[in-house]
Structure 1
Amino acid sequence: MKPFHLVLGLLVLLVSDPGKSQAESTVHETVRRLEDEWAEIFYRLPPNQHAEKFKGLLARVHSVSERYPKEADPLVLEAIVLCTYAAADIGLSSLSKVGKARELLIKAIDIDPRAMEGSAYVTLGNLYYRLPGWPISFGDDDSARQYLEAALKLYPNALDSNYFYGDFLLQQGEHEKALGYLEKAEKAPIRPYMVLSDTKLKEEVRQALTAAREKRNDHGDFFSSFLQPFFGDDGGKP
């Protein structure tokens, strides 16, 4: 009879990592640790330290991408680090960094569209709607919508996909439609392996919800005041 702790160990391996090779497990664990480091830098360190820290992290993430060229996760994380590095160190190289990030994200989608829970689609959508358009950069609202909706099709109940699509709709003036997605994001659970990032994202969800509700109320007040002369204070009742 095998010792209980050996049996338990085998069960954990079988349940937690079905069908994955040792190499796949290694790269996913490595990317997860590096992703945690990114969150610590982005959310906990003062902004004046971001550029230096992201530069160092980028080199390490890139080495993982080179070591595992057929894996999508390192490419997605490398793109995210590139974007935040570009934002922290704005200069002549910033646009080339986000351009490289776009290439990495498209490559990651070709390998595995579901990598990191659709983060490649979400990140591309954000780039397209936050960046300026041609001739400065590649910003484009139609492309942004397509990528964000693609993320939603893959992960219709996820925090990221619902929040960023809702925020996009809010910026487009589609306040009522945005509310549905933002409310869904508010209800989405915080992932145990992304507690810091998800907790901070929930704060942004609440701010966006407040803005969407205020816009909706302003819209209703406008029509109410516009129609009042026609129907009177009693709504036109006899």
Structure 2
Amino acid sequence: MKKLMSVVLLAIVSLSVSAGMQSTLSLQHIQARWAQINYQQEEGDARTDAFETLIKDAASLVASQPTAEHYIWLGIVQSTTAGAEGGLGALSYAKAARKSLEKALAIDENALQGSALTSLGVLYHKVPGWPIAFGSDKKAKQLLTQALKINPDGIDPNYFYAEFLYDEGEYQKAMEYLNKALAASPRPDRALADEGRRGEIQALIAKVDNKLH
């Protein structure tokens, strides 16, 4: 009887631990952890390792609930990991991110105010073109402008389209979108992400201003 009780107690503890782990796997957890790694983690292997762990968490969330929102955030984490990894090693993450974001679009392209379109547009802009990878500025522009139609006042679509315009040498137009991004309303429960993005906006404004003057 004593042995049986020990087995039952062990099973209860195991279930409690498992339930506790699952309870932390939410969209809010993925978003918050991504912001911490992206804006507070120092560059280097530790940062890449942290993103890789977050990919596993996001993949688990998708496996349990394959919604457009969850696929979007799996794609965002995968694409950010590609940026952290750099070089040819980044391509596998970029390809995985494209697949995740395309799955999100197939479910609902309006999910999270068109975030799949924005993120996929950034991928097409940042990734090298053929024969190395799938990058295409034409496709990037199409996706980024489509995202802006869904979320014209959002901080991310305006910032990333401005970044695209800057790389295209359209500095005056880039400044217009940067100012729109800076004027965007704060996002609920995304204070750290907003703070980090605004820092990136200010840095790009300085670069654009330097080109214009």
- Pair in the same fold by TM > 0.5: yes
Which of residues 93, 97, 100 in structure 2 aligns to 1:101?
97
> What TM-score, normalized to structure 1?
0.75
**What one-letter code is carried by the residue in structure 2 that aligns with 1:112?**
D
> For residues 149-168 of structure 1, what are the structure 2 equivalents within 5 Å?
149-168=145-164
1:110 Cα offset (Å): 1.5
Instruction: Give secondary structure in 2 for the equivalent of 1:132.
Output: coil
Show CA shifts across 1:39-73 (max 9, x none). 1111112222112111211111101111112x111
Where in structure 1 do 4 or more consecutive aligned residues deviate above 3 Å? 89-93
Q: Considering only CA atoms, is the larger Rg found in Structure 1 or Structure 2?
A: 1
Which of residues 127, 131, 138 in structure 1 aligns to 2:134?
138
Instruction: Give secondary structure in 2 for the equivalent of 1:189.
Output: coil
Instruction: Give secondary structure in 1 for the equivalent of 2:26.
Output: helix
Instruction: Give secondary structure in 2 for the equivalent of 1:136.
Output: coil
Give the distance between the partners of 1:95 and 1:40, measured in 2 at CA. Answer: 24
Unaligned runs of 5+ in 1: 1-25, 218-238
In the alignment, is residue 62 of structure 1 matched against residue 70 of structure 2? Answer: no
> What TM-score, normalized to structure 2?
0.83
Show CA shifts across 1:163-193 (max 9, x none). 1101110110111111211111111122131
Instruction: Give secondary structure in 1 for the equivalent of 2:114.
Output: helix
1:113 Cα offset (Å): 1.2
Match of 1:214 in 2: 210
Query: Aligned pairs, how many?
Result: 190
Unaligned runs of 5+ in 2: 1-21
In structure 2, relative to structure 1, the CA distance for the partners of 1:162 and 1:89 (3 Å cut) is: closer
Match of 1:118 in 2: 114
In structure 2, relative to structure 1, the CA distance for the partners of 1:89 and 1:211 (3 Å cut) is: closer
Cα RMSD (Å): 1.9
**What one-letter code is carried by the residue in structure 1 that aligns with 2:58?**
V
**What one-letter code is carried by the residue in structure 1 that aligns with 2:132?**
I
Instruction: Give secondary structure in 2 for the equivalent of 1:47.
Output: coil
Contact 2:94 2:127 in 1 (8 A): no
